[in-house]
């Protein structure tokens, strides 16, 4: 009885759900992660360079 109910429910849900094709818009997740990582590294380099130049400019001579 339970197996019949499960089979009926599975067949009903899989046939009434709208099938969506593969969404191929945008970038893959690994590409997005690589871009975000590169952006974070670039921001860190800019901040470190700014702090370094500020400290060197304000060091007593």
Q: Please give the full DSSP string across 35-46, using - where no structure is assigned.
A: HHHHHHHHHHHH
* pTM, full prediction: 0.55
SS3 (DSSP) at 26: coil
Tokens read off for 34: 């690589």
The average confidence (pLDDT) of the chain is 80
For 17, list phi and psi in degrees, rounded to 5: -70, 135
Answer positive or negative: Cα dihedral of 26, 32, 38, 44: positive
Instruction: Give the model confidence (pLDDT) of 16-30 as tens digits.
Output: 556 666 667 777 888
Judged against a pLDDT cut of 70, whether residue 57 lies above it is answered with yes
Residue with tokens 């370094």: 52
């Amino acid at each position: 009885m339970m197996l019949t109910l499960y089979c009926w429910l599975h067949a009903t849900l899989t046939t009434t759900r709208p099938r969506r094709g593969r969404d191929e818009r945008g970038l893959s997740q690994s590409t997005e992660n690589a871009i975000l990582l590169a952006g974070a590294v670039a921001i860190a380099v800019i901040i470190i360079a700014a702090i370094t130049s500020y400290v060197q400019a304000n060091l007593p001579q």
